[in-house]
Amino acid sequence: MKQRFTITIPGAGSTQCAEDERVLVALERAQGFGQLRNLPCRLPVGCRRGGCGVCRARVIDGQYAKAPMSRAHISAEDEDNGLILACSVYPLSDLSIVLEGRPGAVPGPQSKMEE
């Protein structure tokens, strides 16, 4: 039986994510079902393969496994500091994350983090 973990975006909501599910996929599903009502912007979704950087986020608590992520968007230093691409990580425990988007992108209410 697959393990399931809780993914929380503080202040926005939380959802369940299976151990073999990418965090971004769980968040997309949660948003579709209205579980992230307080998210201040539309969930940033792009390539879903670790290449475009729009799903950049910071893990503030929890453990995760990583698939390859573009070094153009997540440097080795970023990775050491808990920055991830949400489409390229799998939970190993409950996670708390903050969405950051690509550097320079300005998120706003009811807008996409990226244009």
* Residue ranges that bind ligand FES, judged by CB under 6 A: 24, 45-48, 50-55, 85, 87
Nearer to ligand FES (CB atom), residue 40 or residue 51: 51
Burial (CB < 10 A; 0-12, 13-18, 19+), residue 86, is buried
* Least distance CB 88 / ligand FES (angstroms): 6
Nearer to ligand FES (CB atom), residue 1 or residue 113: 113
- E strands, 23-94, where? 56-61, 64-66, 83-85, 89-91
* Least distance CB 1 / ligand FES (angstroms): 28
Task: With residue 8 as reference, give the H or E element that holds it.
Answer: strand 4-9
Nearer to ligand FES (CB atom), residue 10 or residue 68: 68
Q: What SS3 class is residue 1?
A: coil
